[in-house]
A and B are shown apart, each in its own frame.
Chain A
Amino acid sequence: MYEFFKNLDKRWIFLLMFLSVSIPIYIIGKTGKTFPETPTLLSKAVFNAIDELEEGDPILLSFDFDPASEGELGPMATAFVRHCCEKKLKIYFMALWPVGPQMVDDVIARVIYSDFPDLVYGEDYMSLGFKPGNEGVIKVIVTDLRELYTTDDNGTAIDVIPMMKGIHSVQDFELVVNVSAGYAGTKEWVQYAVTPFKDRIKLVAGCTGVQAPLLYPYIPEQLPGLLGAIKGAAEYEKLVNDKYGGDNPDPKYLEAKRRMGPQLVAHILIILLIIIANIVFFVGKRREARS
Chain B
Amino acid sequence: MITALGGFVLIVAYFIPATQGWGEVAAIWFDILAAIAFVLGGGNLIKIHLKKVSDRRAGWAYSLITVFAFLLTLFVGLGKIGVNPNPMYPDFLTSGSYREIGSPFWWLYEYAFKPLTATMFAMLAFYIASAAFRAFRAKNIEAILLLGTAFIILLGRTFAGVYLTSWLPDSLSGLRIENMTISIMSVLNTAGNRAIMIGIALGIASTSLKVLLGVDRSYLGTGEE
Instruction: Pick out which of these stretches binds chain B: A47-55, A76-84, A140-148, A243-251.
Output: A140-148
Task: Find residues 28-73 in chain A having any chain B CB closer than 8 Å to their own CB.
Answer: 35-38, 40, 66-71
Asked whether B125 lies within 8 Å of A267 as measured between CB atoms, the reply is: no
Asked whether B24 lies within 8 Å of A277 as measured between CB atoms, the reply is: no
Asked whether B126 lies within 8 Å of A214 as measured between CB atoms, the reply is: no
Q: Which of B24, B130, B160 contacts A13 (CB 8 A)?
A: B130
Q: Which of A17, A69, A99, A139 contacts B125 (CB 8 A)?
A: A17
Asked whether B27 lies within 8 Å of A217 as measured between CB atoms, the reply is: no
Give CA–CA (A110, B1) in the complex, Å.
50
Asked whether B133 lies within 8 Å of A216 as measured between CB atoms, the reply is: no
Interface string of B13-54 (1 = CB under 8 A from A): 010000010011001101100110110000000000000000
A201: min CB distance to chain B, Å: 15
Asked whether B129 lies within 8 Å of A270 as measured between CB atoms, the reply is: yes
| Tally of contact residues, A, Cβ under 8 A | 64
Asked whether B138 lies within 8 Å of A278 as measured between CB atoms, the reply is: yes
Q: Which of A14, A67, A153, A264 contacts B158 (CB 8 A)?
A: A264
Asked whether B99 lies within 8 Å of A10 as measured between CB atoms, the reply is: no
Contacts of B126 in A (CB 8 A): 13-14, 17-18
Give CA–CA (A268, B164) in the complex, Å.
12
Q: Which of B113, B159, B189, B197 contacts A35 (CB 8 A)?
A: B159
Asked whether A16 lies within 8 Å of B185 as measured between CB atoms, the reply is: no
User: B interface vs A, CB < 8 Å?
Assistant: 14, 20, 23-24, 27-28, 30-31, 34-35, 37-38, 86, 88, 95, 97, 99, 109, 113-115, 117-118, 120-122, 125-126, 128-130, 132-134, 136-138, 147, 150-151, 154-155, 157-160, 162, 178, 182, 185-186, 189-190, 193-194, 197
Give CA–CA (A290, B88) in the complex, Å.
84
- CB nearest neighbor in B for A262: B125
Q: Which of A10, A21, A137, A144 contacts B130 (CB 8 A)?
A: A10
> In this assembly, does A276 line the interface, its C-beta being within 8 Å of a C-beta of chain B?
yes
B69: min CB distance to chain A, Å: 15
Give CA–CA (A231, B86) in the complex, Å.
41
Q: Which of B20, B34, B129 contacts A143 (CB 8 A)?
A: B20
Contacts of B34 in A (CB 8 A): 132-134, 136
Interface string of A204-229 (1 = CB under 8 A from B): 00000100111011010000000001
B196: min CB distance to chain A, Å: 9
Report if A148-B136 is in contact (Cβ < 8 Å); known contacts: A17-B125, A216-B190.
no
